[in-house]
Structure 1
Amino acid sequence: MAFLKRLGYYMIGLTIGIIFLTFFLKKKTSETGTEFCYFPNCRVLKELRSKPLAYSANMEEMMDDKRIDTLTIQYLLREGDVNFSESDTKAQPCKVFLVEGQIQEREAALLFKNCDSTTILESIEFNP
């Protein structure tokens, strides 16, 4: 069998396999909500979202003043970027992460404490 003929059969099989996996994995992700987080940013945000969200003592007033609701915070926990250089990933008992994103078309930085059973929002700062 010639090399080009074998290569053709290989490419046909590879194409069918890729199409099959694409539909199979797409179905699994949409139905069960399964996420494949391989990068550190995605893994940290997924861990912060998976725990109940609590607020520090001064955050209730700050959220009312700046007109920020829990939906906005959940959006940032899904679409934000973790600034690892400003985070304290080795703190005990709760790791501290700085999540950056846009709130009402302004750059914002949210400071979260990632404890064993809860995620605590410590502060919100807007960048000019």
Structure 2
Amino acid sequence: MKLIHRFAYYFGGFAIGIVILIFFLSGKKTSCAYGPEARTLKNIRNKAHVYSEETLQFLKSEKLDTTVISKMLLDGDVLFDENTRGFDSCKIYNIEAKVLEENLKMTVENCEDTATIKKIERVFEK
């Protein structure tokens, strides 16, 4: 069999496989969160959010709403070197993101059923 025929069979099978894959995965909420940062943010996004009083005060004083938190959970960077393990097997994550031209840092207590946003603060560049 000539080399050109081998390539034709390979790419033909590959194209058929891609079409079948697109057919089966269309309409489903599939995602590729393979990295630890993407998995952590997705895990927090999928839980019920509870806001501390300090967080609500910050949002009110800065005239922001909870969409800022949603944006931070989509585009933020998890600072794994600052993470700690809280009480009752809850993990505490620090997430930093640039939202509305400001650098913000959020502390989240990620428990089994809920994610509590403990505080949000401005981060000034060094």
Note the C-alpha offset of 1:59: 2.1
Structure 1 match to 2:9:
9
Structure 2 match to 1:44:
40
1:46-125 mapped onto 2 (5 Å cutoff): 46-88=42-84, 90-93=85-88, 94-125=90-121
CA distance in 1, matches of 2:21, 2:30: 15
Q: Which structure 1 residue ranges, 4+ long, deviate > 6 Å from structure 2?
A: none
SS in 2 for 1:85: helix
Note the C-alpha offset of 1:122: 1.0
CA distance in 1, matches of 2:112, 2:15: 44
Note the C-alpha offset of 1:52: 1.2
Unpaired segments ≥5 residues, structure 2? none
Instruction: Give me the identity figure in percent.
Output: 33
Q: Which amino acid aligns with 2:64?
A: I
CA distance in 1, matches of 2:56, 2:13: 58
1:46-94 deviations in Å (ceiling 9; x for gaps): 1111111112232222211122211111121122121111122x33322
What is the TM-score of this pair, normalised by structure 1?
Answer: 0.81
Distance 1:9 1:33, change over 3 A: closer
CA distance in 2, matches of 1:105, 1:7: 50
CA distance in 2, matches of 1:7, 1:34: 31
CA distance in 2, matches of 1:58, 1:7: 62
Distance 1:32 1:9, change over 3 A: closer
What is the TM-score of this pair, normalised by structure 2?
Answer: 0.82
1:12-27 mapped onto 2 (5 Å cutoff): 12-22=12-22, 24-25=24-25, 27=26
1:84-110 deviations in Å (ceiling 9; x for gaps): 11122x333220011111222111111
CA distance in 2, matches of 1:80, 1:105: 13
Q: Which amino acid aligns with 1:79?
A: D
